[in-house]
Chains A and B, each alone.
Chain A
Amino acid sequence: MTRFAAGILAAVLALAAQAGAPKVKIERGEACVAPVAEMRRDHMKMLFHQRDRTLRQGVRAPRFSLKGCVDCHASEKTGSVLGQDGFCSSCHEYAAVKIDCFECHTPQRAVRTAGKP
């Protein structure tokens, strides 16, 4: 009986979790720079390594750059990765992760301007 109750409880919890889980919108591109499972687990490590290489050594390979993330994943509507359905914020809010990337970096996709200096 207890096992049955535990089973029911687990199923209910799983359903509840499913219902509250964020729906991450992928706006652009066929595939990410790494498999989805790896990106979910390790994207912060990739960004961390890339930031030091870019800033300190001037290596600007686009593969793991934050700018690259924003360029692909910013919402087509708002042009941002933040906001209610923003690519970054939807998951981070659900997981109660407070990142400060966007205190300094722009969450907006670059607007291409031709002919500017």
Chain B
Amino acid sequence: MNPERRQLLAWGAAAAAGAMLAPGLRLVELAQARSPEEAASKLQRWGLLIDIAKCGECDACVTACHEENGVTSRGRPTTDPQWIRKVSLADRQTGYVQTLPLMCQHCEHPPCVDVCPTGASFKRADGIVLVDKHTCIGCRYCVMACPYAARSFVHEATSGQKPDVPRGKGTVESCTLCVHRVDRGDTPACVVACNRDGGRAMAFGDLNDKGGVLYQRLRDEPSSQIRADLALNTGVRYQGL
């Protein structure tokens, strides 16, 4: 082997080591982004894993979500849309308080889709539950059907929408799992913010990918679904609940 070739191989090995920090933890996600012409596939099911023990007092996820999706508050808590919120759980006996972020749980069997009279509420092939605002008539059946109160009705005219996130008065909306980011191979804004500014409690991934971090953690560590008794098989899972 000549010296130049040996040097080249060494650089290659160094680059590979840099991209792979630890088993299952990569700087660069491999083969996750699909081409823009390719449709979402049933082979994947996107989900979140939220470790409540690490979730502190901050609301970095809420701020990042509303910033990313152009969800603005008008200071009217009863009618302002909420895509994600922090919920506090207090133990009545001991007074121990936990907080957790709650958003659309992206159910495998979503009640919002069952009750929608126009087919506007739908589940994409990769498990992301969305509202087609072109066909939404604003009846709000889905708002009532969702056991997680994850859906919001847009009561007032909107302006300053983000190019990737159309929003309009008279339709229902909820967490899209940042579908526009997921489609280009990125991670939802809440997860990015939690890992940057928060307690590193949130992880995003493919529930079907046996090599993925999310699948492995769900296999090896205890986790739960909120209202598991409803058998909706949520895509958002919690730890330490």
**In the complex, which range does the number of interface residues on chain B fall in?**
20 to 34
Rounded to whole Å, the gap between the CB of A106 and the closest CB of chain B is 4
Contacts A61-B37, A103-B169; A56 near B132 (Cβ below 8 A) = yes
Distance in angstroms between the alpha carbons of A53 and B169 in the assembled complex: 23
- Nearest-neighbor residue (CB-CB) of A60 within chain B: B36
**Residue contact A59 to B130, C-beta cutoff 8 Å:** no
Report the number of A-B residue pairs with Cβ-Cβ less than 8 Å.
60
Does chain A have a CB within 8 A of B52? no
**Residue contact B64 to A117, C-beta cutoff 8 Å:** yes
Does chain B have a CB within 8 A of A67? yes
**Taking chain B's interface residues, is the majority helix, strand, or loop, or is none over half, making it mixed?**
loop
Residues from chain A with a CB closer than 8 A to the CB of B57 are none
Count of residues in A whose CB is under 8 Å from the partner chain? 21
Contacts A57-B125, A61-B36; A117 near B132 (Cβ below 8 A) = no
Distance in angstroms between the alpha carbons of A113 and B158 in the assembled complex: 22
Residues from chain A with a CB closer than 8 A to the CB of B167 are 104
Does chain B have a CB within 8 A of A58? yes
Stretch touching chain A among B22-30, B75-83, B189-197, B230-238: B189-197
**Chain B residues packing against A (C-beta within 8 Å):** 36-40, 64, 68, 122, 124-126, 130, 132-134, 158, 160-164, 166-169, 171, 179-180, 183-184, 189, 192-193, 196
**Chain A residues packing against B (C-beta within 8 Å):** 51-53, 55-62, 67, 70, 103-106, 108-110, 117
